[in-house]
Amino acid sequence: MTGDPLLCGVHEAAQEARACTAFDEARRLAAWLGAGRPVTPKGVLRPGDVPDVAQVFGAMAPSRFRSAADLPWLHEPWIMALDCGFVVVEGTVAHTGGALAESVGVPDEAVLGFWWRAFRAKIEAWDDPDNPWSGIPTAPVAALRLLTAEPGGLPVEEFAGRVWDLLRHSHDVVFTPCWELAGGHDQPANMIVELLTRFGVVASTGGKVGLSPLGGWALDQVASLTPPVVTETMTAAEVLAAVERLDEELAWRRAGPWLGARAPITAARELLTVAASASPMHRMVALSLVAGLDDGALPAWREAAELPRVGPAARAFLAREFGEPEPTAQDARWQVVDESVALLAEEGVAGALSDIWDNLPGNDADTKIISVEGTGHPDAGRLIEELRRYAPLAAGRPVPPVYQLKISLMHVRPSVWRRVKVSADTPLGGLHLVIQAAMGWDGDHLHQFTVNRRNFSDPAYELDVMDEWRVDLVGVLPRSGLTASYLYDFGDSWRHTVEVEKIHDAEADVTYPWCVAGKGTRPGEDGGEPELFNIQRINHRLGRVLNRES
């Protein structure tokens, strides 16, 4: 046994992941498949096989249901089995995968990866769809954290009772979705306890339930995804670091405890003083927070007007809100450059250069560079480098970079995906057209994008979501590695993931959007024929998308 405590913890957690009910059921389901069973075009078991597999789990198959995917007791182990390679779907047949026989030898990190993917999905199902991973814990996470303060564990009934009290009385837990997931059950707490038990994050011994090593490992993963909690005792710099990546409304909510513990003038002075020497991104956050304070912060604004770097923004605020003298042209240019540097860090090159191009004098890169240099901004060189890179001197507006996206159809085996390249300034409405063309969908159904649990769609649908034509790729997915979800057909629920694989310069003489690779046959739509991957046909359709967007 290794002497490294971290490795010991990972090994112990992986052992518990292997032994947990959810993982065990995935293995049993795979073993039941044997040499093969037929599946539907969506890659799930046919309804006629559900009674047989129900006996494997000791479950009662309902007399009426639409699809095996609608039965959580079956669909959850099915998805886990697919992810682990215990089950392989080839065409219209699912059979036991080679990973089942090798599962004992799967590395600990791989096991935990499979397990975490499934458990994270369960956590997110209880999250606030408008504010995921916000620092306000979901009900299962809050329940798990109760046990961190009880090293000896709690009696099972007491634990369920305390979870119920937490849900009823705490304002610091995401609670609204609980009723929906619990199906109106009087005790959603019991459902949470069952979930935690199934995934092995709690262990029952002698009538008590306690946090398992796997549960501790899971809480570490949650912590890595959750922004730091803002406390009253933090410094202003720590507050800015904690909320730097949040939108304005959420940043204000997260900073609430810190702001509420101070008089407006005190909070404003602390934030604006730090802003004078902070990075442009943190300066923008500080200015936004102080702008939300009442008029008691006015003296701090006037003091900040005399400070370096933050002064131009303070003077502009005083002119706008209190009728004080208008800022100079030099102040205005400084603000544009300062905001553009912040955008460079937050949204990438396209957002930053668009700000420069739209708000500084001149119609060519030469003139823009002179304006940027003239501000004396310490980060001006970074913007000038990007301007020279994306817009040859004396040329027109910078050519935006290109996004390489992998669009994958979820819950379908064998895998179905398309790799396309699109301009960074493509609006989500345009991306919808690209996905339709790349996958070969008919476009006859509703659709919706979800990015960080913010929903976007065509405003004509009147879905009470954001307008997909008013935001572009670089605005919602500013960096490589980020993903969005795309749902097509609210009835059949064809779900896609859109992953930003990389961002690179536009290539000369290449017209975007453009499909460069793909794999897999897209299932039939509305009972129609499946579509084989054909890159020539896809690019022909993408050519029509380009004309339509234009």
Query: Could you give the domains of the chain?
Result: 5-113 (no CATH), 126-225 (1.10.10), 236-327 (no CATH), 331-390 (no CATH), 402-549 (3.10.290.30)
pLDDT value at position 98? 76
Q: How confident is the model at residue 310 (pLDDT cuts 50, 70, 90)?
A: very high
Residue 172 has pLDDT above 60, yes or no: no
pLDDT value at position 429? 92
pLDDT value at position 329? 93
Q: Starting at the edge strand that comes first in sequence, how are the strands of the sheet with 202-205 ordered?
A: 154-155, 208-211, 202-205
Residue 520 has pLDDT above 70, yes or no: yes
Q: Which range, of 94-98, 107-111, 171-175, 512-516, averages the lowest pLDDT?
A: 171-175
Query: What does the alpha-carbon distance between residue 93 and residue 111 come to, in Å, rounded to a whole number?
Result: 25
> For residues 223 and 196, is the Cβ–Cβ distance under 8 A?
no
pLDDT value at position 183? 44
Looking at per-residue pLDDT, the higher value among 272 and 78 belongs to 272
Q: Where are the beta strands (DSSP E) in 472-528?
A: 483-488, 494-504, 514-519
Residue 134 has pLDDT above 90, yes or no: no
pLDDT value at position 311? 95
Number of H helices, E strands in the chain: 25, 14
Classify residue 35 as exposed, middle or buried by CB count within 10 Å of its CB (0-12, 13-18, 19+).
Answer: exposed
pLDDT value at position 179? 40
Q: What is the largest CA-CA distance in the chain?
A: 80
pLDDT value at position 8? 45
Q: Starting at the edge strand that comes first in sequence, how are the strands of the sheet with 454-457 ordered?
A: 466-467, 454-457, 447-451, 483-488, 494-504, 402-409, 416-423, 514-519
Token digits of residue 342: 């912040």
E strand or H helix that includes residue 96 = strand 93-96
Looking at per-residue pLDDT, the higher value among 384 and 268 belongs to 268
At position 223, the amino acid (one-letter code) is A
State the pTM of this model.
Answer: 0.51
Query: What does the alpha-carbon distance between residue 128 and residue 138 come to, in Å, rounded to a whole number?
Result: 8
At position 46, the amino acid (one-letter code) is R
* N-terminal to C-terminal alpha carbon distance within the chain: 64
Query: What does the alpha-carbon distance between residue 245 and residue 25 come to, in Å, rounded to a whole number?
Result: 39
Round the CA-based radius of gyration of the chain to a whole number and report it: 27
Other C-beta atoms lying within 10 Å of the C-beta of residue 519: 12
Token digits of residue 229: 């909690």
Q: How confident is the model at residue 135 (pLDDT cuts 50, 70, 90)?
A: low
Query: What does the alpha-carbon distance between residue 245 and residue 251 come to, in Å, rounded to a whole number?
Result: 8
> For residues 122 and 195, is the Cβ–Cβ distance under 8 A?
yes
> For residues 421 and 403, is the Cβ–Cβ distance under 8 A?
yes
pLDDT value at position 342? 87
Q: Which range, of 17-26, 272-281, 426-435, averages the lowest pLDDT?
A: 17-26
Three-state DSSP at 226 gives coil
Q: How confident is the model at residue 170 (pLDDT cuts 50, 70, 90)?
A: low
pLDDT value at position 7? 42
Query: What does the alpha-carbon distance between residue 335 and residue 356 come to, in Å, rounded to a whole number?
Result: 10
Mean pLDDT score across all residues of the chain: 82
Q: Where are the beta strands (DSSP E) in 377-524?
A: 402-409, 416-423, 447-451, 454-457, 466-467, 483-488, 494-504, 514-519
pLDDT value at position 180? 40
Provide, rounded to the nearest whole percent, the portion of the chain with pLDDT above 90.
31
Three-state DSSP at 143 gives helix
pLDDT value at position 471? 83
Query: What does the alpha-carbon distance between residue 260 and residue 203 come to, in Å, rounded to a whole number?
Result: 40
Alpha helices in 391-498 (DSSP H): 428-439, 473-476
**Placement of tokens 């044997």 in the chain:** 34
What's the chain's length in residues?
A: 550
Residue pLDDT, tens place only, 334-390: 999 999 898 877 666 666 777 787 788 887 778 888 999 999 999 999 888 877 776
Three-state DSSP at 442 gives coil
At position 548, the amino acid (one-letter code) is R
Of 318, 293, 296, which is closest to residue 307 (Cα–Cα)?
318
CA 401: distance to chain centroid? 22
Other C-beta atoms lying within 10 Å of the C-beta of residue 149: 8
Task: Report, as an integer, the average pLDDT of 80-106.
Answer: 76
Three-state DSSP at 490 gives coil
Q: Which residues contact 190 (CB under 8 A, 6 or more apart)?
A: 160
Residue 428 has pLDDT above 70, yes or no: yes
pLDDT value at position 5? 38
Q: How confident is the model at residue 51 (pLDDT cuts 50, 70, 90)?
A: very high
pLDDT value at position 2? 35
Q: Which range, of 104-118, 258-272, 443-457, 461-475, averages the lowest pLDDT?
A: 104-118
Instruction: Pick from 7-21, 49-63, 162-176, 424-438 the range whose average pLDDT is largest.
Output: 424-438
Peptide linkage before 513 cis (omega within 30 of 0)? yes
pLDDT value at position 62? 87
Query: What does the alpha-carbon distance between residue 457 and residue 449 come to, in Å, rounded to a whole number?
Result: 6
